[in-house]
Amino acid sequence: MVTATATATTDEQALAELKREHGPALLSFLLGLTYGDQQRAEDLLQETLLRAWQHPEAFDAPYESMRPWLFTVGRRLAIDARRSRLARPAEIGDDILATTADPADVTDRAVAALDVRAAVRTLSPEHRAVLVQIYFQGRSVAEAALALGIPAGTVKSRSYYALRQLARSLPGYSRAAASSAA
């Protein structure tokens, strides 16, 4: 049992000496790989030293210095960390979530429906009838023309002018917002 404690102490001493001897150079190298991100570089340094501790056979390697082994492990860890970050979707802050409407909240849809109803009421009966046939009942131009007893060209013309009137009378409507949504 005394030998196990002595071995653990020796490993800790060797690791402390490894960090003292190669730590600053390795940290500088890792700072370059992380584009100057001090926190990431320090995390990678700690992970590299942990790997050295987990692989004591690396201390027995026939090399004069552990530095090439440490730099190789650190570089591979940096590459893996970067790939991992790029594989995940970008994180968003709370400020974006605060300005985004809750999909479960039906208030915005109810207000929009009331606005549309009020705007449709401002149309002439002929224009309103065409929109009801095409947009609310889902009929084609030919079907709406047949149902209303007017030519198809008249249905097209009335729907065009009715939609223009709605665009002007709906609150908050802008052509730029409509064209970017399309």
pLDDT at position 148: 94
- When pLDDT is averaged across residues 37-46 and rounded to a whole number, the result is 92
Is pLDDT larger for residue 174 or for residue 171?
171
pLDDT tens across 117-167, in order? 888 889 999 999 999 999 889 999 999 999 999 999 999 999 999 999 988
Binning pLDDT at 50, 70 and 90, where does residue 174 land? low
CATH architecture label of 105-174: Orthogonal Bundle (1.10)
Q: Where are the domains of the chain?
A: 2-92, 105-174
Q: Give this prediction's pTM.
A: 0.44
Identical fold for domains 2-92 and 105-174, yes or no, is: no
**How many degrees, rounded to 5, is the angle at CA 108 between CA 107 and CA 111?**
85
Do 123 and 131 contact (CB within 8 A), yes or no?
A: yes
Fold of the domain built from segment(s) 2-92: Rna Polymerase Sigma Factor; Chain: A (1.10.1740)
